[in-house]
Chain A
């Protein structure tokens, strides 16, 4: 359903013929290279941003260059790195816990009708629920520390991973399982040699979606429980009206999340399903 972000590089266009104009060369180049459009999209956005900031559409709207400067400043003096080091702790802990528990539960639910009946509706409810209302409840029991934030990540990532894992198991090619049975494979052999390898790419995709949910969870935690790391940067700069820095911090988390997910998608396409790789 979602487009795979695959920067196809179909070889550069050959040297333009003497008779082609600049515009034609550019058009041909544009048609062939996907990276051109990524650059163009970014360029258009940055230009619009810069102009909007100059008008200015709001006193609280910095220009693009102001934001970039603030970003560079925060990178060079280490504040950004330190902030991410803090923000990533509950994220990584929560994702790991969700992955282990989620895939495990997903496999059980995929293989057992009873487990599915019992657990699937619960996780479907959790996935659709507006977690923003429930995350603050965590503070009542676990305070405002690392545990609370890790729990917030788990609350958002676990349902996604569970549901995707169990669907992955259910959609295993039944012919392959039959084949294993026909050679008298035991149930354990069926699970380990056929079901899990066949489900592996979809399991990984589910993990990727879980990580996306994890990012959402950690940001909710920082905004709703207590700001640390990136959340702290955002709230602090907002409170002293350093809007360029605030925007830079927000943009950075969106960028980090996007880059992580794109990298995972690349790994998934390249290593897990060579036959589905786009040519």
Chain B
């Protein structure tokens, strides 16, 4: 299989799997797997319904809020950790711990603290996304070649100028990479948050469809969600690739 790059094999192989799904679905092997074609038509029907649209609104709202917070807090903290050893020392333990910890365990606590509503979901998204954003911002700042900074100083640049004109730009690709991964994690956060809270947004819909065994709509919703997440990630990746050379040879 000649690989021209990533995009082509990704789509070609998945198309093959979609076909396999269609065949398995038609053979009615298990109710969990309806034919792909009926999922797709259910999907089109779904997006027209009011319930989906309002659920999407709630979900998108929570997601965007949580992500915005995660970026607003995460990027500066990561940069601070990369620049100042003392910040790194204080926060290093927590960031490294939470980036691979099972954060879902925290959601029950969030539920009793923030109630069974959107706030909990927003905090969940924040917590899921922020740690990797911090780590990558930190890594980006620490990877700036020292010779670049020395160059700036030798030409008489102020600390602020060095920071904005050299360090930030050089670290930008890695910061974007962290945001990209943070977005994927944020989607996981919004889903787990809503499912556990289970009375709002997509969480409510998932609960509804699985309870009534409406697998077509269930899968349609999953795929819409997933496609949205992948699209967002691809958009960020596009920008990331365009400015990848800012970091020199990473």
Asked if B196 CB lies within 8 Å of chain A CBs, one says: yes
Q: A residues within 8 A CB of B108?
A: 223, 234-235, 238, 246, 250
Asked if A64 CB lies within 8 Å of chain B CBs, one says: no
The CA-CA distance from A197 to B214 in the complex, in Å, is 49
Residue of B nearest to A38 (CB): B93
Q: B residues within 8 A CB of A216?
A: 102-104
Secondary structure class of chain A's binding surface, majority of residues:
helix
The CA-CA distance from A261 to B91 in the complex, in Å, is 18
Contact A254 to B191, CB < 8 A, known contacts A1-B135, A130-B225, A137-B210 = no
Is B226 within 8 A of A130, CB to CB?
A: yes
Q: A residues within 8 A CB of B48?
A: none
Is B1 within 8 A of A114, CB to CB?
A: yes
Interface residue ranges of A27-60 to B (CB < 8 Å):
30, 34, 37-38, 40-42, 44-45, 58, 60
Interface residue ranges of A116-171 to B (CB < 8 Å):
116-122, 124-125, 128-134, 136-137, 140-141
Interface residue ranges of A196-253 to B (CB < 8 Å):
209, 212, 215-216, 218-220, 223-224, 230, 234-235, 238, 243, 246-247, 250, 253
Residue of A nearest to B189 (CB): A130
The CA-CA distance from A215 to B101 in the complex, in Å, is 8
How close is A223's CB to chain B, nearest CB, in angstroms?
6
Q: A residues within 8 A CB of B184?
A: 128
Is A131 within 8 A of B100, CB to CB?
A: no
Contact A113 to B10, CB < 8 A, known contacts A45-B94, A128-B184, A243-B112 = no
The CA-CA distance from A140 to B33 in the complex, in Å, is 12
Is A41 within 8 A of B93, CB to CB?
A: yes
Contact A128 to B96, CB < 8 A, known contacts A117-B12, A250-B109 = no
Q: A residues within 8 A CB of B17?
A: 121-122
Asked if B9 CB lies within 8 Å of chain A CBs, one says: yes
Most A Cβ at <10 Å: residue of B9, B103, B190: B9
Is B192 within 8 A of A130, CB to CB?
A: yes
Asked if A266 CB lies within 8 Å of chain B CBs, one says: no
Interface residue ranges of B215-250 to A (CB < 8 Å):
218, 221-222, 225-226, 229-230, 233
Asked if A2 CB lies within 8 Å of chain B CBs, one says: yes
**Contact string against A for B residues 67-105, beta-carbon threshold 8 Å, 1 for contact and 0 otherwise:** 000000000000000000000011111101111111111
The CA-CA distance from A252 to B107 in the complex, in Å, is 15
Asked if A257 CB lies within 8 Å of chain B CBs, one says: yes
How close is B197's CB to chain A, nearest CB, in angstroms?
12
Is B107 within 8 A of A258, CB to CB?
A: no
Is B192 within 8 A of A220, CB to CB?
A: yes
The CA-CA distance from A156 to B196 in the complex, in Å, is 18
How close is A26's CB to chain B, nearest CB, in angstroms?
13
Is B191 within 8 A of A132, CB to CB?
A: yes
Asked if A263 CB lies within 8 Å of chain B CBs, one says: no
Q: A residues within 8 A CB of B210?
A: 136-137, 140
Residue of A nearest to B17 (CB): A122
Most A Cβ at <10 Å: residue of B90, B104, B106, B202: B104
How close is A138's CB to chain B, nearest CB, in angstroms?
10
Is B89 within 8 A of A41, CB to CB?
A: yes
A-B contact pairs, 12 of them (CB 8 A): A41-B89, A114-B1, A116-B9, A117-B1, A120-B13, A121-B14, A129-B226, A140-B31, A209-B100, A212-B100, A224-B195, A250-B109
Which B residues are closer than 8 A to A by beta carbons? 1-3, 9-10, 12-14, 16-17, 30-32, 89-94, 96-109, 112-113, 135-136, 139, 184, 187-188, 190-192, 195-196, 202, 206, 210, 218, 221-222, 225-226, 229-230, 233
Given contacts A2-B96, A125-B226, A136-B195, 12 further A-B contacts (CB under 8 A): A1-B139, A2-B100, A30-B89, A41-B94, A116-B1, A117-B1, A121-B9, A122-B13, A132-B188, A137-B210, A216-B104, A224-B195
For the complex of A and B, list the 7 residue pairs with the smallest distance between their C-beta atoms, beginning with the closest.
Answer: A130-B191, A132-B192, A37-B89, A117-B1, A212-B100, A219-B102, A41-B93
